Amino acid sequence: MKFAHIADVHLGFEQYRLPYRAREFARSFEEAVDRSIEEGVDFILIVGDLFHSSRPSPGTIQEALEVLEKPKKAGIPVFAIEGNHDRTQRKVSAYNLLERLGLLHLIGLRDERVENDFLTSERLGSKYLVRGTVETGRRSVEIHGIKYMSAAWFEKNKLTEIFKPEGDAILMLHQGIKELVEKMAGIIPDSQRDYFELRMKDLPKGYRYYALGHIHREFVTSYDIGTLVYPGSLQRWDFGDYEVRYRWNGRSFIPEAGTRKGFYIVEDFKPRFVELKVRPFVDIKLKADEETAIRELQRLREKIPREAFVRLDISWEKPYDVSGFRRILEVEHLYVRARFEGKKGVPGSGGLPEPGKYFTPVELKTIRLAGEKDFNEVDAVIELFLKGEEETEPTLTDEKSAIKVEPVERVKPEGPKPKKPSNILAWIGGGDED
């Protein structure tokens, strides 16, 4: 019994507003599916965030169709759950379209009973719990799962009461799990709880394989309950998701290897990583004067492939002109972040006021949502204002690399929650408040 475990494909993600990056995300998906077919898998799992948005464009839907026709032709079933990026608040999601075309099978809680060769349903309150089944030779495997849900939802609904595995079964979840995120990133302060919705004790026991998504970094671990796997995103997500980081120690650049990108082929419940070649992201941290910076970047240039995306974090006690650095590091995409202490506090030179002082938590969250590279979280923002922060399911918790936590303090809103809902459009447009 062999299957592919893919997650966080993010079709349609025009990273840094570059349409060709969306095509690269699509190409990685195609490569993962091609490799899975070559491997002769019995089925493919897509564990959430197939799309970058819950409203993919026609072009993005077409990319999904073109790739998913391949396993369909090869007679390989695909099972999927929706992630935080692509689930919809409405009745029909893009996944329902794909299912209607016979390109995948949607697992989880649904309003209607579904019965076919690959899906069975069980009544659960007012819903149906829809599960996948695959027969391979003499073996039969059940595929359970549920779409991305908020921490608030899990307060009221216990996975251990919903899922009772029997025989060989797999559980698909697109969530952050506290202990696993901390194993990857270290202890995350309590004030920044956005990075998990579940703890290990919330997971139902008895599954042979926990097929996870949501965290964009590849990670495998085994707890007493079994093998838990995050395949990570197929392409590099941001500069926190670097291939290599060069950190200046005052004398030389020390390279640190980053993460690999790809997906898992799982044979008899043993995962094997399949690495995909993706565009390199290089992160450079340099604290030096102008002369040293120019000399050292010229040296480093040899080591950086032309097609790389590079972020250069540069700082020094006195300001100097960094505009020429683009000619030194002639790479596909260069993002320079300069921080000169001498400039600190001078109006108009980048010293922003502390955000917590001027905005309510709901407003801060809106600003964060609206500030995304490609803003398509209108639904989430509207919901945020209608319901306030606590009830809203975060839609972007896995931004900013899988695990980097943004220093936004989460204070419970007191009194009337949304302060000035009418101003939301003004902020999004960057216009004036009243």
CB of 253 to Mn ion, least distance (A): 31
Question: Cβ closer to Mn ion: 82 or 296?
Answer: 82
DSSP result, 153-186:
HHHHS-HHHH----SSEEEEEES-BHHHHHHHH-
Paired tokens of 62? 């077409």
Annotated catalytic residue, options 85, 105, 144, 174: 85
Assign 89 to helix, strand or coil.
coil
Closer CB to Mn ion, 82 or 389, in the complex: 82
Cβ-proximal residue to Mn ion, closest one:
49
Report in angstroms the alpha-carbon separations of 88 from 46, 64, 152, 392: 17, 17, 17, 13
C-beta of 118 vs 237, nearer to Mn ion: 237
Half-sphere exposure of 367 (CA within 13 A, CB side): 14
To Mn ion, the closest distance from the beta carbon of 403 in angstroms equals: 12
User: Please, what is the minimum distance in Å from the beta carbon of residue 173 to Mn ion?
Assistant: 13
CB 7 to Mn ion: min, Å: 7
Burial of 88 (0-12, 13-18, 19+ CB in 10 A): middle
Distance CA 281, CA 263 (A): 18
**CA R_g for the chain:** 23
CB of 24: closest distance to Mn ion in angstroms? 16
- Distance between CA atoms of 434 and 406, rounded to whole angstroms? 28
Q: Which residue lies nearer to Mn ion by CB, 49 or 296?
A: 49
Instruction: Give the interface with Mn ion as residue ranges (CB under 5 A).
Output: 8, 49, 398
| Measured distance CA(262)–CA(105) in Å, rounded | 22
In terms of Cα–Cα distance, which of 428, 358, 332 is closest to 21? 332
Q: Does the annotation count 333 as an active-site position?
A: no
The residue among 45 and 76 lying less far from Mn ion, judged by its C-beta, is: 45
Give catalytic residues, as residue numbers: 85
